[in-house]
Structure 1
Amino acid sequence: MLRLLTPLALLCAVPAAAQKLEAVDRVWAGNEVPFALVVTMDRIYVGYYDAARQLSVASRPLKSSWWTFTKLPGWVGWDSHNRIAMAVDAAGQLHVAANMHNDPLVYFRTTGAGDVRTLTRVPAMVEPAAERSMTYPTFLKDAGGRLIFKYRDGGSGRGREIYNVLDGAGWKRLTDAPLVDGEGKRSAYFVGPVPGPDGWFHLSWVWRDTPDAATNHDLSYARSPDLLHWERSDGTPLPLPIRLRDAEIVDPVRSHGGMINNNTPIGFDAPSRPVIAFHKFDSAGDTQIFVARREDRRWRVTQASDWKGFRWDFGGNGSLDFRLRIAAPVVDGKTLRVPVIRDGKPIDLLLDGDTLARVGERPGTKLADRLSARIGVPAGMQLNTVEDASGVAIAWATLPANRDLPREDVPEASVLRLVLP
């Protein structure tokens, strides 16, 4: 099953008091940069930037606390886009891609299964000409278990989404054409593909005209049985690459309408219909959470929050300090629950599972809050987490994103901790 990990862990079934904390290393704390966690049947792998900002990978067996470390040739600056992506393929080899924001390929692969000390840099995957300006590296697996690597080729406002597939010892294009092409006028920012209970992959995205985050518009959707053939929700085939004029528009949110990339997660209701959560300005100019659900022959858009006087008026270039983060809608009894973090406070928005009528909201919970009582977080810093479906997680404190700009001071390194259920 395809699985994407995010640096935001909104839910955790294990109480913090029942979890074991284990120090891994001292790490860079000057700004938030997503680290990586991979858990297999017998090993744990962690990708991070150490106290000297160097790209590092640590690994240990599940049943032992003996870590193996390796340092790779790569150092992060102040850019919060330069996340780390990792995955283990069917042969047990570890793949690491990192430190790319409109940069040439930075990719490593082990030559000895399970041994991070054998990570070796691979200068090219498929086509060097399309690997000179890469952003948002992501590993995932298709329904057959094949390892897929996707990334954006080109800068914000002029990018293409490209998919590669691991074929034996090398990589090849998954599709002849890119998945999406902004035609040099815009970029698409994706959440997913997400595997649904229906066996299909579901994808949501927004279009963005310039590097200015305020220029996101037109929430879009596509689905696929195999990551090769894509279609609209009504079964109409979508030729590749998907362009704005052909895309299925879920909600035609205008540019500067209060919608931002990466905040369009896909969940599923009790009958397995896709539900997309996102935010935009309401008629009064306040920022509100909305959900869109595919019903019969159309997408139904419903307001999920009812906040007065709250407006997140973001814009400009560089990594933002997100005032809102949204997780995928989930079934919770007879309700549909949308977990949200607003200004650092977790909130659960509740909707009637049948009608999508707003039921109300209640205080939510997140792993970082439950761990904060045991992990000292310096003033002005935040506790970042990445959680695996197994319940294993990592946690580390940093200053928030700073629009990718240097700070006047360099903070002390923080401790990266492994969190075990």
Structure 2
Amino acid sequence: MKRFIPAALALALVATVLPGQPATAAAPTVTATSTTVLTTSGRTALTYTGYMNGESFQQDGIVTYSGWQYAAFWDQSGYVNLSRRQVPSGAWSNLRLTDYVTASTDSHNTISIGIAPSDGTIHLAFDTHSSQLRYRRSVAGLATAPTWSTSGFGAVQTKLTSTAMDVVTYPQFFAHPDGTLQLAIRTGYSGTGDEVLYEYTPGTWTSVGEFIDGTTAGNNAYLFGIEYDNYDPATPLLHVTWTVRETSNASTNHDLYYAYSKDKGRTWRNSAGTVVATSGSSPLAANASTLKVWGIGQNRGLINQESQVVDAAGIVHVLASHLPASAADNSDFTAARETAVLVHYWRDKASKVWHQDYTPFLERSARGDIAVDSGDNLYVVSGDSSTRKLHIQTASKASGWTDWTIRYTSAAIYYSDPLIDHQRLKSLGTLSFFAPRYGGSQIDVQDWKVSA
């Protein structure tokens, strides 16, 4: 059962600007338009401080494609559900895929959606944490078909090519502007793993190869994100940022690393533009000094896999959270997270210089999502696991993204990580996000009109 909550009720949850911030701040404003209920039967197990529905590393958990918005979730019975609606305000239609059931309660075992513009197929990767891949795809054209059914999806597969995929985690789909769909996924384990890249052409996946090596040095890269820009349509760049973990202990997360590719991930360049790696034969070293763009020490409460976005000017923005510079090191990761603040990092495309802006916003064990509108203004939706409130924070391009302002605070009803529909904000001017309520059973999708 999916319900619609009128904008008037949603607006009743709006809180205010931070004390001391001017009402005339240039940061974009947001106006609630609707909240719809995606499900009231979401999976309720709570592990690693989150649910199987709504984790920052889902790329993507909610996405708009060609006039349709898609969202995926696990139900309490352990089935994958895929819902869609026509934007801006169509009713949700749901498919429940009952030929596969999970016994997992592990919040790492999320569902990621990929849509291939080359043939309109919908791709789902799910239920994997240092375990065998689970993947399925639809028939061609289903992403825009006026009607759909479960019969439009093929069987669950455990590998993409002839190569076994038995120890993988964090599937992340992303599309090249020419319509090519790709998938990055970790092989190995926390503290000793690699990132590998696959590419889809209609009907077939091929391996591009390993592009980040962590096992040689006994560590692993945790991606903040991986995505293309479209600044120069003739040569879209693939940008990837990450932090490195030395052991399975999150306190060993450290530093911000960056690389980009001009050829769909075949060769890789550092921030200065020098070719430093080739996928498959000579991958990026996860902790290479030539790839480190900002020093963040161990024992700083640095959470892995927060968020990344690239704006229309080709500027890479990273949302991270860690202890402020004035705080002492703390090897107790849970305690460190209690005072870790959200930090915005960004790379100026012209000068290739990286910048850092601290914000006063807290999350505790939660993680936020950062997105950009058509005017290159920034929006963050983040939770606070202590207060169970969601916040929308915005910053304007005109200020150099320094005027971070809270534009909304929810009632104390949300938990786990909110997920923004990046494409809908960038192309249609609507901030739409997936937000699990505390307890896990109800998942809301909130829609906000943005005004810069």
Q: Name the TM-score class by shorter chain.
A: 0.7 to 0.9
Query: Structure 1 residues 291, 97: CA separation in 2 closer, same or farther (over 3 Å shift)?
Result: closer
**Distance between the aligned counterparts of 2:159 and 2:173, measured in 1?**
16
Following superposition of structure 1 onto structure 2, how do residues 319-338 of structure 1 map, counting pairs within 5 Å?
A: 321-322=365-366, 325=368, 327=370
**Corresponding residue for 2:129?**
101
- Check if 1:15 corresponds to 2:31: yes
**Corresponding residue for 1:250?**
293
Matched residue type, 1:77? S
**Distance between the aligned counterparts of 1:40 and 1:349, measured in 2?**
24
Q: Structure 1 stretch 337-346 or stretch 146-155: which is displaced more?
A: 337-346
Structure 1 contact 274–293 (Cα < 8 Å) conserved: yes
**Distance between the aligned counterparts of 2:393 and 2:107, measured in 1?**
27
1:205-224 CA deviation, whole Å, 9 max, x = no partner? 11111111111112111112
Matched residue type, 2:255? D
Gaps (5+ residues) in structure 2? 1-26, 55-60, 143-147, 329-338, 425-429
**Corresponding residue for 2:316?**
274
- Check if 1:346 corresponds to 2:391: yes
Query: Structure 1 residues 43, 70: CA separation in 2 closer, same or farther (over 3 Å shift)?
Result: farther
Structure 2 contact 230–314 (Cα < 8 Å) conserved: yes
Secondary structure of 1:256's aligned partner: coil
Aligned-residue offset at 1:256: 1.6
Following superposition of structure 1 onto structure 2, how do residues 16-415 of structure 1 map, counting pairs within 5 Å?
A: 16=32, 18-19=33-34, 21=36, 24=39, 26-31=41-46, 32-34=51-53, 36-41=61-66, 43-59=68-84, 67-75=94-102, 77-89=104-116, 90-111=118-139, 113-114=141-142, 115-118=148-151, 119=153, 120-129=155-164, 131-173=165-207, 175=208, 177-184=209-216, 185-196=218-229, 198-199=231-232, 200-227=237-264, 228-240=266-278, 241-243=283-285, 244-245=287-288, 247-263=290-306, 265-268=308-311, 272-281=314-323, 282-285=325-328, 287-288=340-341, 289=343, 291-294=345-348, 299-305=353-359, 321-322=365-366, 325=368, 327=370, 339=380, 341=382, 343=384, 344=389, 346=391, 348=393, 361-365=404-408, 369=410, 384=418, 386-387=420-421, 389-390=423-424, 391=430, 393=432, 395=434, 397-399=436-438, 414-415=441-442
Query: Structure 1 residues 40, 326: CA separation in 2 closer, same or farther (over 3 Å shift)?
Result: closer
Structure 2 contact 369–418 (Cα < 8 Å) conserved: no
Q: Cα RMSD over matched residues?
A: 3.9
Aligned-residue offset at 1:189: 0.8
Matched residue type, 1:346? H
Structure 1 contact 29–398 (Cα < 8 Å) conserved: no
Query: Structure 1 residues 48, 331: CA separation in 2 closer, same or farther (over 3 Å shift)?
Result: closer
Matched residue type, 1:220? Y
Query: Structure 1 residues 166, 338: CA separation in 2 closer, same or farther (over 3 Å shift)?
Result: closer
1:248-295 CA deviation, whole Å, 9 max, x = no partner? 111122222332212353455x96543444344314437453535348
Once the two structures are aligned, what percentage of the paired residues are identical? 19
Aligned length: 370
Query: Structure 1 residues 348, 239: CA separation in 2 closer, same or farther (over 3 Å shift)?
Result: same
TM-score, with structure 1 as normaliser: 0.73
Structure 1 contact 143–226 (Cα < 8 Å) conserved: no
Query: Structure 1 residues 266, 117: CA separation in 2 closer, same or farther (over 3 Å shift)?
Result: closer
**Distance between the aligned counterparts of 1:300 and 1:52, measured in 2?**
46
**Distance between the aligned counterparts of 1:337 and 1:350, measured in 2?**
5
Gaps (5+ residues) in structure 1? 1-10, 313-320, 400-410
**Corresponding residue for 2:8?**
none
